[in-house]
Structure formats: structure tokens, C-alpha cells
Structure 1
Amino acid sequence: MTAGEALRDAEARLGQAGVDSPQADAEWLMADLLSCSRSELPLFTDTALSVDQQTRLATRVERRFRREPLHHILGTAHFFGYEFQVTGDVLIPRPETERLVELAVAFLESLPHPSVHDLGTGSGCIAVALAKRCPKANVIASDLSEAALRLAKRNAESLEALGQVAFRHADGLDALAKGEQVDLILSNPPYIPSGEIDALQPEVRDHDPCLALDGGPDGLRFYRMLAAEGRSRLNRGGRLMAEFGDGQEQSVAKLFREANWLDVEIADDLSGRPRIVIASAGQ
């Protein structure tokens, strides 16, 4: 069997499963098998696959057919120009979240020695990407999941950011010691309402950690905590930036305004959708 024939079979198989992008996913799996880029695949159309290669591809296609996320199968995901290891212990980094890092970098650039708390770090993608782009920053990355922290540390080590990021096993803002303050709190917290989790796509519902999805009955549990407690954890002039779900912008902004934050803004993600709340602590 040639690579071209196997690619067509894989695309058809994934289409039968209802995968959103069967052609792209089949190409990613084939490119990984052949150790090439997707754009180079046409060069291998007539290349004969070995029996071992056919078996490996078939196994991976079946995993994707059962709706295991593509990035879990590949074992990596790209975020902000860096490659991160991913497993079922963490959410897969999303392009939409890159805007959160962009906004953070823009805010921190003017500070001489900025300090940051990445709350709920997961794979460490936000903390590590920020550390790479802001060499002056000291970053605290916390998570309630010990498995997530282990993975985040591996990512920091592989991307040579381990000396710049301190990892702490803690729940929410408890990662900061009594009286400890930072210039910026960043978070992509759980924001799916509990009752909606069963209706999510199988890739999310069956493979993402529930701890990273469940935002309580209305999806706003963590924003209430951040609005009520976050300001006391910030230095003068500090900011809090947090991602939220589709349609939550008004509810999230209201929580911060009612908690008397000095200034509350909503920023769009890279696709133009309201995605990030920016709250200022004041001078």
C-alpha cells in the first residue's frame, strides 16, 4: 500500500466517525508517521509503506476513529510558536488562548522585574510561553492536579524555562503565600456549566480532565473567586487577565465591576470573539 492510498483510506475512516476535519487529521497522522510536514506529503504519495508503518497508522487511525483527540495521539501541540507535550491530564493548548499571552506580554514589557501567577497552569503553555517572551519575568505556575504539574515541569525543562518558572501544587490563589503579591494574575479557568459537560464533543467530554472543564452550575465559580479575592493578591497597578467561554462576557464583567475593580475591559481573541476579561487593581 502506498502512502497516498493509506491517506485516502484514513480520511474515509475518520469521516465515518464524524470527525470534524477528517482530511486534516489523516494528514497530520501520516506526516507524523513519515516524519515530514503536511506540505511535504505530496512528495510521498507513491511511497510504499512497510507493514510496520501500515500497522502503526491503522492503530492511530482507530484511536482517532474512537474520538481520542488528535494531539493526544501525536503527544504534542503547538502554542505560541513552541511545542508542548500533552496528555489526557491537561487541556490541549488552543490558538484562542495565544491572545491571552499576547496581552500579558504587552502589559509586562514596561515593568522592570515583573511577577506573574498563572493559575491553573495545566500543560504550562501560558506560563512557559510567557517566560520565553519575557525573560525578566518571574512566573509562578500553580495547579491542583499533580499530574498536570509534572507535565508542565517537563515542558518547562524541554523549552529551557525551568529556571524562570516556579511550580506550586495548590488550589486557586492559595498558591500565593500570605501577603505575597504579583503584578499579573493569568488564568484560563474551568468555565463549562456542569450540566453542559455531557453534551460536549466526545474529544472533550471523554478525554479532557473534568477538573479543567467544570465551572460549577453556571460556569462562573472561578470568576467569582477571582473577582472577590484577586485584587488583594496584586501589586499596585497590577492586572488580572482571564479567559472565559462563549457568551459569558457580560456575566464575567459584571462580577468584577460589582467587586469594585478599578477598570474592567473585555478583549477579543484572535478570531474576533469576546474571550478575555482584563481587570485593573488600581494604584
Structure 2
Amino acid sequence: MNPSLRGLIHEISACLSEQGVDAPRLSAQVLAAFVLGCTRMDLLLHSERELSTAEVERIRALACRRARGEPLAYIIGQREFYGLEFIVRPGVLIPRPETEGIVEEVRRLYGPDSCLRFADLGTGSGALGVTMGVVFPRAHGLLVDTSDVALRTARENALRHKVDSRVSVVKGDFMSALFRPRSLECIISNPPYIGESDLSEVEPAVLAWEPRSALIAGRSGLEAYPALAVRAWDALLPGGHMLLEMGWSQGKHLVRILRDVGFCSIRVLRDLAGHDRIVTAVKPGGAT
């Protein structure tokens, strides 16, 4: 006799807990809901339902992957960001809630009907740039990355959220000459910013599964910012804004880098945990 939905979730939760998986019951529920094509609320409403052999086998197979430490987002192939579902896969950084602060700040700076021209440098899954296209329906953006896996994923997400006619995905790095001088109002980026000396602070599962090129910048963690700042300075219109995610201890260093390039009105914003997380800066010469 096959277990009930409640029984299988209890079984998988216990197994994941023994393996030291974070939030084991949540993982079990998400995997079950994914296989059954339902919501987590449906799991509660139909907890006594007896599962078929095929359903049990598939849920257990996914649970084995989770027990080995594979991120939940990679297993189910998606992750929510700013209330939108995004395709993710191995080789692409999993979007984090902290990055949503960039979208919030851009929305504070620009009205919803703004004909904003923007670029998302190091776009990864495209979560940040595609979300910009959704919340600014008259905006046009360029999403840039060096990874073929990331570029394919970002294009799929642009199509999924119906912004592909206004958001282009192109291959390039922070030094690529992809933009005309003074052609953009806004540049956003969540670049790699973990330093090699800070690896002990990073969750082992993150280092084991997610792309290091999207996480680790070099020895200090600041290596990506100087080139990014120079490229942004060239591409931004006077009065244009740049918004960057950063590590919690990098604020004063990044402020100095941006000031040396010529940016003004530099502000450091905190995330919901109270940590420095985003820096914003303005290219002088226009309305701020």
C-alpha cells in the first residue's frame, strides 16, 4: 500500500532533516507540490490522499537529490523573484530576495510610465532585468552576460514574461563596448562580489552547486567594480543612475571607487536584515 501525502511528506522531512538540509519540511512540501502540480495549500487540503506508485517514486527521487545538497530551485527548475516565477538551472545563479531591493529603488527613482533605457550587467537568469521590463512597461533594456547557459535562460525568461520585444539579451562582459556613449538612463548589476578570503562565510551548498564565476570576484571581492563603474560612466546620460549589489562590508570601498570615477550622490542602502547591500550613484550633469 502506498503512503498518504501526509505520510510521504513526513517521511521525506525526517530524511532531509537527518541529512542536515535546511528547512526540510518546506523542501518536502515544495517537491511534492511540484510533482503533483498543485499548491502547498492543496497539500494540506488533501493530506490523506493516497499517492500512486509513480508519484511516490518521483517525489522520492527528487528528495534524494535534495538530500545530496542540490538547491531546491535547480531541482524544480524555477525560483520566485519579485512575485514572478523565473526559470533557473545549474550554471545560473539562483536569484535572491536581497536583489529585489534594486528594483524597489529604481521604482522610487522613475515613474511607472517612464520610457527608461537600461542595462543589466551580469544578468544571470535575467531575473533582475526581466523584472525591470515587467514593472516598467515602456522601458527598453539590454541584458548582458558571458555565460551561454545564462544567456539562454535569460532569453527564456524574457519570453515567459512577454518582455522579449523590449528586452534584448546579448553576450559580453563589463568591458565590452555594447552601448553608445550617453545612451542609458539606468544601469543595474548584481556582479560577483565574494572575496576569496570570505569563502568560509558562504554556505557550502552555494559553493558546491552555484557557478563560482557569478559569486567570486577575486581576492578582495571588489575586482569587478572598477571596470563596471567605468563602463557605466561612459554609457550613462548625465543624471543617469547606477545601482549595484554588494557585500555587507564593501560599502565604504565601493563608495570610494565610484567617487574616483566621478559619480556623485552616492548612497548605500540596507537590506531587510539591516546589512549594507546596494549602492546607488548618479552621473552628474542632469536632474537627479
TM norm. shorter chain > 0.5: yes
Residue aligned with 1:186, SS: strand
Counterpart among 111, 133, 136 of residue 134 in structure 1: 136
Aligned length, in residue pairs = 283
Which residue does the alignment assign to 2:14? 12
Pairs within 5 Å for 1:133-282: 133-174=135-176, 176-179=178-181, 181-197=183-199, 200-282=202-284
245-254 or 124-133, larger mean C-alpha shift: 245-254
Structure 2: which 5+ residue stretches go unaligned? none
| Distance in 1 (alpha carbons) for counterparts of 2:212 and 2:25 | 29
Structure 1: which 5+ residue stretches go unaligned? none
| Distance in 2 (alpha carbons) for counterparts of 1:80 and 1:200 | 24
Task: Find runs of 4+ consecutive structure 1 residues off by over 4 angstroms.
Answer: none
252-261 or 233-242, larger mean C-alpha shift: 252-261
TM-score (norm. length: structure 2): 0.93
Preserved CA contact (<8 Å) 1:198 1:205: no
Aligned-partner residue type, residue 17 of structure 1: Q
RMSD of equivalent CA atoms: 1.8
Residue aligned with 2:155, SS: helix
Question: Shift of the alpha carbon at 1:53?
Answer: 0.9
Preserved CA contact (<8 Å) 1:186 1:241: yes
Preserved CA contact (<8 Å) 1:120 1:189: yes
* CA offsets 1:36-56 (integer angstroms, 9 cap, x no match): 221232222211111111110
Specify whether residues 104 and 13 from structure 1 end up closer, same or farther in structure 2 by C-alpha distance, changes over 3 A only. Answer: same
| Distance in 2 (alpha carbons) for counterparts of 1:134 and 1:110 | 5
Aligned-partner residue type, residue 266 of structure 1: V
Question: Shift of the alpha carbon at 1:181?
Answer: 2.7
72-81 or 192-201, larger mean C-alpha shift: 192-201
TM-score (norm. length: structure 1): 0.94
Preserved CA contact (<8 Å) 1:173 1:230: no
| Distance in 2 (alpha carbons) for counterparts of 1:234 and 1:261 | 11
| Distance in 2 (alpha carbons) for counterparts of 1:179 and 1:131 | 22
| Distance in 1 (alpha carbons) for counterparts of 2:131 and 2:71 | 23
| Distance in 2 (alpha carbons) for counterparts of 1:175 and 1:5 | 57
Question: Shift of the alpha carbon at 1:271?
Answer: 3.5
